[in-house]
Amino acid sequence: MNPSTPVRDAAVTAGAAVRLAALRKAYGEVRAVDGIDLTIAPGEVVALLGPNGAGKSTTVDMILGLTEPDAGDVTVFGSSPAGAVRTGSIGAMLQGGALLDDATVGEMVAMVASLHRSPMPVREALARAGIEELANRRGNKLSGGQKQRARFAVALVSDPDLLLLDEPTAAMDVGSRREFWRSMQAFTDSGRTVVFATHYLEEAEEFADRVVLMRSGRIVADGSVAQVRALAGGRTLRAVVPGATDEAIANLPCVTEFRLRGEQIAVSSSDSDKTLHALLSAYPHAHDIEITAIGLEGAFLTLTSDEEEEPSADDRREEALKSTQRTRASWASSRTEERGK
Amino acid sequence: MSIKYLALEIRRVTRSPRFLIFTVGFPVLLFLLYVGIFAKDPGTKAVLMVSMTSFGAMAAALFTGTRVALERASGWQRQLRLTPLSGPGYLTAKAATGMTLALAPAILVPLVAVLGEGVSLDASGWVRATLGVWLAAIPFALIGLLIGQIGTADSTQPITQLVMLPMALLGGIFIPVTTMPDWLLKIAHVLPSYWMGEIGRGAITAGSASLGKDVLYLGIWTVVLGFAVVRRYRKDSARV
């Protein structure tokens, strides 16, 4: 069920790339990070997924040692973040600016390289980021995508074992986004650990081995991409079913959540084909059948939307919320079982 | 910190037109202008020379420090915190950059004075008028760093002017100390610019003026400002 768990458990003993234990950080009343436990094995490519304000950036900042946690521990390759920074084993692309207007790309990369003990050659960093031809261009003369690549080169030049990327493709168009991830892939193929925060689901799906979903400072889901896809693969089946009863609908195969209102049913199913076949053989007169996929986007939204929010009048949303909570609960229990073994 | 890093930092600053105008252009031009208007005797020329050298060194040191605000705003400072460069290392590098650039007026103004206006001093006088004035710029590099940490990218320029103008005026750099009323002189005596000027002016009345008091006052300023700068940096980086 959870193939990455053994890998991670092994990592705990072998020396994890990143280990967060009961991590907390509050800004005044706002609990930006509210108790996070996370172990990332060397070589993993992890997507930190969540809406704005979920605590992704604060988590990244604490891993980097830029922000001091209120409570809990951060370990990077067995040492403190500061220690990892000193040895150059951690590199990062920070959100926003982080470039100089009055220096060229080559100079900025060279500056950072000159501060590290064993950097890679500046040319190599530029080449890996795919911006050799921009070496002599000043920071203020770069496009959004070029800026991100320049930041990537700056992050790469210390030849880090762990790379943290905070919304790396935020200002990029689709083309440069592809291009960026292609350079990134070359880096991860060499066995380096990468943690990236994003709110682009497709990026997580395409490039991460593991997805960590965050909401309101907590981890709400953590699993392989396949698991997240399975989670998001549920469908909603609606139909008008004369003579339907609560019990009959609940006993249909693969139903995770349902609602019966008069003759109208709305069923969340993990396998809508099976549910539909069973429904039709039990109720041949069922009509106005409609099957909709929740989709990755919907799953992401429901998983990361505010739980305390009052259920809205919108049936579909309410259902989605419930089904998600249920799925989450069952997922969590299956994970605990896994851990127990 | 490495020589390579410092060299790149220095190159960045010299790209700024403001730097070239204020720290190289202004002091040399003003020196020539003042000499043309006022100076009849070599003594006055020498005073003008040390005044303009002080002004240039002060401006270079101040100006470089204030650029920290730009790096803070752009997030470059955060990026540097992900390198082995420590906080004190970063601040030292910035101060060192400012001091290196302050060498330009400390060399150029006396050079123009000697070659163009025939100013002459004895050996110890020259050491004071160049090396002495240059070293006296250290407190200004620290004031610049403080402004750069407190101000924003937009506000540092006016703040710098607000600090520099009274410093230059009361320090006797633009008006002779001897023309100041007593109460003003008392204020002037507190300022690092006054003691910077004293080091230079002492070069002309060769041998007679001792350096003890100048060094003491500038030393106190350096220590106090140094503490303030480091404290402010710690506070700042804890918050970001």
pLDDT at A18: 93
* Structure-block tokens of residue B167: 């410093």
Sheet containing A287-293: which strands, arranged edge to edge?
Answer: A255-261, A264-269, A235-240, A287-293
CB-CB contact of B49 with B113 (8 Å): yes
pLDDT at A229: 63
Q: Cβ–Cβ of A64/B82 closer than 8 Å?
A: yes
**B80 chain-A contacts, CB cut-off 8 A:** 112, 115
Is residue A340 predicted with pLDDT exceeding 70? no
User: What is the rounded CA–CA span in Å between residue A128 and residue B17?
Assistant: 34
Chain A nearest C-alpha distance from B12 (Å)? 6
The minimal CB distance from A112 to the residues B9, B11, B83 is found for: B83
Chain A's closest residue to B72, CA to CA, is A98
Chain B nearest C-alpha distance from A95 (Å)? 9
By CB neighbour count within 10 A (0-12 exposed, 13-18 middle, 19+ buried), where does A299 fall? buried
Which residues are within 8 A (CB) of B98 and not within 5 positions of it... i.e. 6 or more apart?
A: B60, B61, B62, B63, B64, B65, B137, B140, B141, B144
Which residues are within 8 A (CB) of B191 and not within 5 positions of it... i.e. 6 or more apart?
A: B167, B170, B171
pLDDT at B209: 62
Could you give the 3-state DSSP secondary structure of residue A75?
strand
**B5 chain-A contacts, CB cut-off 8 A:** 111, 114-115
Summarize pLDDT for A132-150 with one digit per residue, the tens. Answer: 999 999 988 888 888 888 9
Q: A-side interface with B, Cβ within 8 Å?
A: 64-68, 85-88, 90-92, 94-103, 107, 110-112, 114-117, 154, 158
User: What is the rounded CA–CA span in Å between residue B142 and residue B122?
Assistant: 31
Mean pLDDT in residue range A303-321:
46
Residues in a beta bridge with A40: A18
**B78 chain-A contacts, CB cut-off 8 A:** 66, 94, 98
* Structure-block tokens of residue A85: 């920074």
**More confident call, B22 vs A221:** A221
The minimal CB distance from B84 to the residues A85, A97, A99 is found for: A85
- Is the pTM value of this prediction over 0.90? no
Could you give the 3-state DSSP secondary structure of residue B122?
coil
pLDDT at B107: 93
pLDDT at A144: 82
User: How far apart are the two ends of chain A, measured CA to CA in Å?
Assistant: 12
* Residue B150 identity: I
Q: Cβ–Cβ of B74/A101 closer than 8 Å?
A: yes
**More confident call, A253 vs A292:** A253
Q: What values do phi and psi take at A119, rounded to 5?
A: -75, 165
- For an interface test with B, give the residue of A27, A94, A104, A111 to mutate (most B CBs within 10 A): A111
pLDDT at B57: 94
**A85 chain-B contacts, CB cut-off 8 A:** 81-84
* Structure-block tokens of residue A130: 């795919």
The minimal CB distance from B12 to the residues A91, A102, A114 is found for: A102
Q: Cβ–Cβ of A107/B12 closer than 8 Å?
A: yes
User: What is the rounded CA–CA span in Å between residue A124 and residue A132?
Assistant: 9
Percent of chain A predicted with pLDDT > 70: 79
Which residues are within 8 A (CB) of A158 and not within 5 positions of it... i.e. 6 or more apart?
A: A88, A91, A112, A113, A116, A119, A120, B83
Is residue A57 predicted with pLDDT exceeding 60? yes
Q: Cβ–Cβ of B71/A100 closer than 8 Å?
A: yes
User: What is the rounded CA–CA span in Å between residue B76 and residue A284?
Assistant: 67
Which strand (E) or helix (H) includes residue A288? strand A287-293
Q: Cβ–Cβ of B79/A111 closer than 8 Å?
A: no
Q: Cβ–Cβ of A94/B238 closer than 8 Å?
A: no
Which strand (E) or helix (H) includes residue A256? strand A255-261
User: What is the rounded CA–CA span in Å between residue A213 and residue B92?
Assistant: 42
Is residue A60 predicted with pLDDT exceeding 90? yes
pLDDT at B51: 92
Is residue A228 predicted with pLDDT exceeding 70? no
Q: Is B124 part of the contact surface with chain A (CB cutoff 8 Å)?
A: no
Measured from the Cβ of residue A53, the count of other Cβ atoms closer than 10 Å reads 14
Q: Of A243, A297, A299, A237, nearest to A268 (Cα)? A: A237
Band the pLDDT of B38: cuts 50, 70, 90: confident
pLDDT at A304: 61
Is residue B173 predicted with pLDDT exceeding 90? no
Average pLDDT, rounded, for chain A = 80
- Residue window 164-223, chain B: list those with CB within 8 Å of chain A: none
Mean pLDDT in residue range B9-38:
86
Q: Cβ–Cβ of B79/A116 closer than 8 Å?
A: no
pLDDT at A338: 41
The minimal CB distance from B81 to the residues A66, A107, A117 is found for: A66
Is residue A330 predicted with pLDDT exceeding 90? no
pLDDT at A315: 44
Chain B nearest C-alpha distance from A60 (Å)? 12
Which strand (E) or helix (H) includes residue A84? helix A81-86
User: What is the rounded CA–CA span in Å between residue A6 and residue A339?
Assistant: 9
Residue with tokens 């593991």: A210
The minimal CB distance from B84 to the residues A86, A96, A111 is found for: A86
The minimal CB distance from B8 to the residues A95, A107, A158 is found for: A107
* Residue A203 identity: E
A75-102 b/e (C-beta count within 10 Å ≥ 16 → b): bbbeeebeebbbbbbbbbbbbebbbbeb
pLDDT at A303: 63
Least confident among A79-83, A115-119, B174-178:
B174-178
In terms of C-beta distances under 8 Å and separation of at least 24 residues, what long-range contacts does A246-251 make, across chains too? A248/A282
Q: Cβ–Cβ of B85/A115 closer than 8 Å?
A: yes
Sheet containing A30-40: which strands, arranged edge to edge?
Answer: A30-40, A18-27, A71-76
Measured from the Cβ of residue B68, the count of other Cβ atoms closer than 10 Å reads 27
Q: Is B240 part of the contact surface with chain A (CB cutoff 8 Å)?
A: yes
* Structure-block tokens of residue A55: 């605590």
Q: Cβ–Cβ of A116/B83 closer than 8 Å?
A: yes
Q: Cβ–Cβ of B85/A99 closer than 8 Å?
A: no
pLDDT at A294: 60
Summarize pLDDT for B177-209 with one digit per residue, the tens. Answer: 888 888 888 888 899 999 998 888 888 875 556
Q: Is B83 left (phi over 0), alpha (psi -120 to 50) or beta?
A: beta
Structure ipTM: 0.84
